[in-house]
Amino acid sequence: MARVNPNYSKLKAGYLFPEIGRRVRAYQVAHPEQKVIRMGIGDVVLPIPEAVRIAMHQAVDEVGTLSGFRGYGPDLGYDFLREAIAKEYVSRGAQVHADEIFVSDGSKCDTGNIQELFAFDATIALTDPVYPVYVDTNVMAGRTGELGDNGQYAGLEYLPMNAANGFVPPLPKTSPEVIYLCSPNNPTGTVMTRAELTEWVNYAQKNKSIILFDSAYEAYIQDPSLPRSIYEIPGARKVAIEFRSFSKTAGFTGIRCAYTVIPLELEGVGPDGAPVSMHALWNRRHGTKFNGVSYPVQRGAEAVFSPEGKEQVRAMVGYYLENARLMRNGLIEMGFEVFGGTNAPYIWLKTPQGVDSWAFFDKLLQSVQVVGTPGAGFGPSGEGYFRLSAFALRETVHEALSRMSTQFKKK
Amino acid sequence: MARVNPNYSKLKAGYLFPEIGRRVRAYQVAHPEQKVIRMGIGDVVLPIPEAVRIAMHQAVDEVGTLSGFRGYGPDLGYDFLREAIAKEYVSRGAQVHADEIFVSDGSKCDTGNIQELFAFDATIALTDPVYPVYVDTNVMAGRTGELGDNGQYAGLEYLPMNAANGFVPPLPKTSPEVIYLCSPNNPTGTVMTRAELTEWVNYAQKNKSIILFDSAYEAYIQDPSLPRSIYEIPGARKVAIEFRSFSKTAGFTGIRCAYTVIPLELEGVGPDGAPVSMHALWNRRHGTKFNGVSYPVQRGAEAVFSPEGKEQVRAMVGYYLENARLMRNGLIEMGFEVFGGTNAPYIWLKTPQGVDSWAFFDKLLQSVQVVGTPGAGFGPSGEGYFRLSAFALRETVHEALSRMSTQFKKK
């Protein structure tokens, strides 16, 4: 009989978001009359920008004609898009070239697939709490042991982020080969300062580690002193891969486009001890396992960088950030201890004393029909915290706050 | 230093098609005045069907409104598309349910990623010649040794297909756990009969193997006696995963949509000896590493199954098949021994005595500026053969044949 990958059985019962979905569906079946407000999965709600829509229409028309038809695109993305992305980087003071950009259909895919480039026993460090995809894809690849009673997979180094350390992950103790970082952070909504990120880049240089830097939420950074890209930090090109997405920036969660930057000088080491270009490896992976992003989608993504697109995206990001501000204030008024939400679309709140994060999830769902994400779903250090997403309509935010305020009052 | 996956270094210098691209570019730089005809990569040239275009426009408009906006779709695909696909299967006598269909952005991705579900030392058999993605993704995963002088990776069982055996792959000798089959075949253009496929299904049942059946070209089957899906064969639901694509069927190479069928009763075996649902494993993989296909693309794919869409696709497939017929006849007239091309969009020709397939590639490129694909690029048994694709405009086919006829004459 065909033997399956034995590592899948190490995974917890379900990926976090399907589990939330199951609980919400069960509640809705039991209470069909209740209107549930979903602030759990970080999915956007505003329509795609007009500039994107116009560009996609044009592209669809183009491929509907003989002269304008385009078949297989370049595996790594069309030059028009890679150049627009590189130009944006350069305009913000980060040195990134068009041919270092790999266009893909999502950052979930990229951050999930990138581990394939490393040795099967490469040592990994990641923050805790963390986006579950980083952990689960390494479990599937066999880089971990079983899940322990402490909520940690054996063989990974967890870097705790909590109120006590101001959500700044401590430097690793084990000299890992690969380190996952995310800023603005999902789930905590906190952002690394330039000084903190510089410390990480210096650490990676000294320890010859590679940082996998997820900046899917960079568009939410308003404070000009905070770095939006790791490549704003000197030396980062030799130690970091960066992931970005149009999902939260431009409402692309259903349209699907993202990109990964691998600087040409970034190197790992091969079995013979010789340096290996990470760019060449990812190029080979893309060439073998990927066939590029839909052409109309790439045209839509390009339009995000047009003057109209930029303006429309800025308005959209501003809308969600105003939600975050209202949520922060409202939750603080209810007496919650609240983190994130100023340069990020996520609010990370401390659950009330003695209520764990899944219990708080169930309580919110059942008492006020508001769905958030239990912190424990993001790792053991997420226990005692709860994520609320600012990706909602204004009226939904007001309604959620109003419902919650009936249950929670400042003492 | 971060150690890289050591298996990438086992891969040959480049994936086949990039290598062809490099040779063609080098030739064009040296001879900018020459017009090269590309019949190498199997990329379509006709515009996307009108029904698809209309559906995509509508979907783009939809997500441009607040009420019609859709964010993250279901990881496995929208029900409207999964149901349309299942209905089509059922109408052709294959028992496939909507919830057994996994919508993706390409069969290259699916046939490349599927190996992740199997044990890292699972035994693999594949036909030779073969679509290189099947081989390379197993090399990258570490399931092979080095590439031998015979052109075979150690640890894989190669099933030779050649003129001597009528391009019917012999049953394996090693009782492999996983078997890759493709019909209509890429690259040979030959099609398995119902009796041949039945023999494979019976073999897999007896040996408890899983067949990975690539039927990306099923739309090109005109002979009603030939199976278009492995699920037309009794017992296949217990032994086979099937891959299909809109790429060659509906001109989607640049739009990106495909699907994989995993029957609910298909099982592998876990490390504890207990049966494991392959459907559940792929579901978990999709949930962790994939975020679904672009919504407008899924609406476009759905339109392929509308009455207008079906009619437009039929016309498109008919056009390419007429190309194939012209090519077969023309090449036979020139004295070539020709295979495939009657229920498939590929022509597989025997290179002239004493000319190997890359030499024939270079000769065709340099003497008549026609690009095809060297058989050796598909595996050692492809040596001495050459693939030409019928995905071209009619005038291009005529021009290619006319140019070739100046060089090749029946003896």
What domains can you pick out in chain B, each with its CATH number?
7-47+308-405 (3.90.1150.10), 52-306 (3.40.640.10)
Give the CA distances from residue B130 to residues A172, A233, B162, in Å, rounded to whole numbers and listed in that order: 45, 46, 12
Contact between A296 and B140 using a beta-carbon 8 Å cutoff = no
- Judge whether B302 and B80 are in contact, CB under 8 Å: yes
Burial of A409 (C-beta count, 10 Å sphere; 0-12/13-18/19+): exposed
User: What's the DSSP call for residue A232?
Assistant: G
Q: How far is it, in rounded angstroms, from Cα B324 to Cα B161?
A: 21
CA distance A69 to chain B (A): 5
> What H or E segment, with its residue span, contains residue A326?
helix A307-333
Contact between B69 and A47 using a beta-carbon 8 Å cutoff = yes
Secondary structure of chain B in HEC code, one letter for each residue = CCEECHHHHHCCCCCHHHHHHHHHHHHHHHCCCCCCEECCCCCCCCCCCHHHHHHHHHHHHHCCCCCCCCCCCCCCCCHHHHHHHHHHHHHCCCCCCHHHEEEECCHHHHHHHHHHHECCCCCEEEEECCCHHHHHHHHHCCCCCCECCCCCECCEEEEECCHHHCCCCCCCCCCCCEEEEECCCCCCCCCCCHHHHHHHHHHHHHHCCEEEEECCCHHHCCCCCCCCCHHHCCCHHHCEEEEEECHHHHCCCCCCCEEEECCCCCEEECCCCCEEEHHHHHHHHHHHHCCCCCHHHHHHHHHCCCHHHHHHHHHHHHHHHHHHHHHHHHHHHCCCCEEECCCCCEEEEECCCCCCHHHHHHHHHHHHCEECEEHHHHCHHHCCEEEEECCCCHHHHHHHHHHHHCCCCCC
Q: How far is it, in rounded angstroms, from Cα A215 to Cα A236?
A: 14
User: What's the token pair of residue B248?
Assistant: 């060659």
Interface probe, candidates B289, B293, B393, B396, chain A, greatest A C-beta count within 10 A: B289
Contacts of B276 in chain A (CB under 8 A): 4, 8-9
Q: How far is it, in rounded angstroms, from Cα B303 to Cα B297?
A: 10
Burial state string for B158-183 with b = 16 or more CB within 10 A and e = fewer than 16: bbbbbeeeebebeebeeebbbbbbbb
The answer to whether the Cα torsion of A269, A275, A281, A283 is positive or negative is: positive
Q: How far is it, in rounded angstroms, from Cα B3 to Cα B171?
A: 39
**CB-CB neighbours of B150 under 10 Å:** 9
pLDDT digit string, tens, across residues B19-52? 898 899 999 999 999 999 999 888 999 999 999 9
Q: How far is it, in rounded angstroms, from Cα B179 to Cα B291?
A: 28
Helix-helix angle B278-289:A132-140, to 10 degrees = 140
ipTM of the complex: 0.96
Contacting residues for A298 by C-beta, under 8 A, at least 6 apart: A59, A73, A77, A78, A80, A81, A103, A257
Q: In degrees rounded to 5, what are phi and psi of residue B197?
A: -70, -35
CB nearest to B108's CB, from A45, A136, A291: A291
Contacts of B210 in chain A (CB under 8 A): 2
Q: How far is it, in rounded angstroms, from Cα A69 to Cα B45?
A: 7
User: What's the token pair of residue B253?
Assistant: 């190479």
Interface probe, candidates A15, A205, A294, chain B, greatest B C-beta count within 10 A: A294
**CB-CB neighbours of A364 under 10 Å:** 25
pLDDT digit string, tens, across residues A188-235? 999 999 999 999 999 999 999 999 999 999 999 999 999 999 999 999
Comparing alpha-carbon positions, the chain A residue that sits nearest to B106 is A291
Q: Name the band, by pLDDT with cuts 50, 70 and 90, for residue B12.
A: confident
Give the CA distances from residue A271 to residues A120, A211, B135, in Å, rounded to whole numbers and listed in that order: 12, 20, 21
Give the CA distances from residue B196 to residues B184, B202, B244, in Å, rounded to whole numbers and listed in that order: 13, 10, 20
pLDDT digit string, tens, across residues B83-124? 999 999 999 999 999 999 999 999 999 999 999 999 999 999
User: Omega of the bond prior to B227 within 30 degrees of 0, cis?
Assistant: no
CA distance B176 to chain A (A): 8
Q: How far is it, in rounded angstroms, from Cα A289 to Cα B132?
A: 11
- Confidence at residue B15, expressed as pLDDT on a 0 to 100 scale: 66
Q: How far is it, in rounded angstroms, from Cα B120 to Cα B143?
A: 6
DSSP three-state, residue A374: strand
Contact between B3 and A269 using a beta-carbon 8 Å cutoff = yes
- Confidence at residue A409, expressed as pLDDT on a 0 to 100 scale: 86
Q: How many CA atoms lie within 13 A of A167 on its CB side?
A: 24
Q: Using alpha carbons only, give the angle A178, A180, A184 rounded to the nearest 5 degrees.
A: 155
CB nearest to B268's CB, from A2, A120, A122: A2
Comparing alpha-carbon positions, the chain A residue that sits nearest to B294 is A255
- Judge whether B250 and B217 are in contact, CB under 8 Å: no
CA distance A271 to chain B (A): 6
CA distance A208 to chain B (A): 5
Place of tokens 């068009």: A98
Q: What is the dihedral of CA B63, B64, B66, B70, to 10 degrees?
A: 10
Query: pLDDT tens digits for chain A (411 residues)?
Result: 899 999 999 997 666 777 898 899 999 999 999 999 999 888 999 999 999 999 999 999 999 999 999 999 998 999 999 999 999 999 999 999 999 999 999 999 999 999 999 999 999 999 999 999 999 999 999 999 999 999 999 999 999 999 999 999 999 999 999 999 999 999 999 999 999 999 999 999 999 999 999 999 999 999 999 999 999 999 999 999 999 999 999 999 999 999 999 999 999 999 999 999 999 999 999 989 999 999 999 999 999 999 999 999 999 999 999 999 999 999 999 999 999 999 999 999 999 999 999 999 999 999 999 999 999 999 999 999 999 999 999 999 999 999 999 999 886
